[in-house]
Homo-oligomer: A and B are copies of this chain.
């Protein structure tokens, strides 16, 4: 069995060794840039862990797993344009460092570099792997559309929000776990359990991300900026607070949202106080917990030695800060 750290190392190596055509260096420089600025590599690592659950030899899964990361970064490049985000991981986004056209085109080619990775899947599982991936790719586009629609919508319910993150975030994480299982030649039923494992994990992951913006420990997670509050981002926290608040609390929250040119620090403090008065943190943490439990429930049902499930259990628990 590989450790999570070893798998991340394998993924980093595969990304560094990606055969990217050099005829048009302007096209590929942004690809190398975005792929090199890191992140957790959650999707490929999860795919490899999922494969490793069913077999010791996982080398055939490395390139398809890398395809998941390339696709994910493709969405980052284009999402950053759509969100007009100037910075990602403390570095300028592609459309800022280069320009709009370059970000569109270099993003585009990543979709086909991802395809190339998936085309390296062993023939016996190629069709199933590619279909699982591509279903997720379409879902991610739908999720991004819902996200953009929400930005313009006056009212968004928390269940609509959950559907959006299911499409935009959870579907690719679900596909990652499933792709690994397919290449690991797991029985169909186990592949489906791994999909559900990933789907629940993805939902928990996004809610946790929303929580970290407000309650994260900057030292541990490198977050807790309150940026979501300042920008009125429709997170699970804000939407739930809008649903649960009444009377003066509701009025105070609306005031914070609509105030032009507020002092950021004051706005973060005041909105956090409102969240606290409504128990938003506990509500969100409980939901993330439920998703992780759902995730682990599916993992339990997988027909593999419980000993082999430890690494995935650890990953799931660590995502919501359970350190066991």
B-contacting residues of A (Cβ < 8 Å)? Answer: 21, 23-24, 26-27, 78, 81-82, 101, 104-105, 107-109, 111-113, 115-116, 119, 123, 126-127, 130-131, 134, 137-138, 141-142, 144-146, 148-149
Instruction: Indicate whether A148 sits within 8 Å of B116 (C-beta atoms), given known contacts A78-B108, A108-B78, A138-B21.
Output: no
Q: A104's closest neighbor in chain B, by CB?
A: B78
Question: Hey, which chain B residues are within 8 Å of A145, CB to CB?
Answer: 24, 26-27, 105
Question: Hey, which chain B residues are within 8 Å of A146, CB to CB?
Answer: 24
- State how many angstroms separate the Cβ of A133 from the closest Cβ of chain B: 9
> Main SS of chain A's interface residues?
helix
B127 x A112 contact (CB < 8 A): no
Question: Hey, which chain B residues are within 8 Å of A115, CB to CB?
Answer: 115, 130, 134, 137
User: Which of B27, B81, B141, B148 sits near A141, CB closer than 8 Å?
Assistant: B27
Q: A78-B104, A115-B134 are in contact. List 13 more A-B contacts (CB 8 A).
A: A24-B141, A24-B145, A26-B149, A78-B105, A105-B144, A105-B145, A108-B108, A112-B134, A112-B137, A112-B138, A113-B138, A116-B134, A126-B126
User: Which of B27, B131, B148 sits near A105, CB closer than 8 Å?
Assistant: B148
- Cα A111 to Cα B149 in complex, Å, equals 21
Instruction: Indicate whether A119 sits within 8 Å of B101 (C-beta atoms), given known contacts A27-B145, A141-B112, A142-B27.
Output: no
Question: Hey, which chain B residues are within 8 Å of A107, CB to CB?
Answer: 108
Question: Hey, which chain B residues are within 8 Å of A108, CB to CB?
Answer: 78, 107-108, 111, 141
Question: Hey, which chain B residues are within 8 Å of A141, CB to CB?
Answer: 24, 27, 105, 108-109, 112
- State how many angstroms separate the Cβ of A172 from the closest Cβ of chain B: 12
User: Which of B26, B104, B109, B131 sits near A104, CB closer than 8 Å?
Assistant: B104
B130 x A21 contact (CB < 8 A): no
Question: Hey, which chain B residues are within 8 Å of A101, CB to CB?
Answer: 81-82, 148
A104 x B116 contact (CB < 8 A): no
- Cα A119 to Cα B128 in complex, Å, equals 9
Query: Which of A105, A109, A137 has most chain B Cβ within 10 Å?
Result: A105
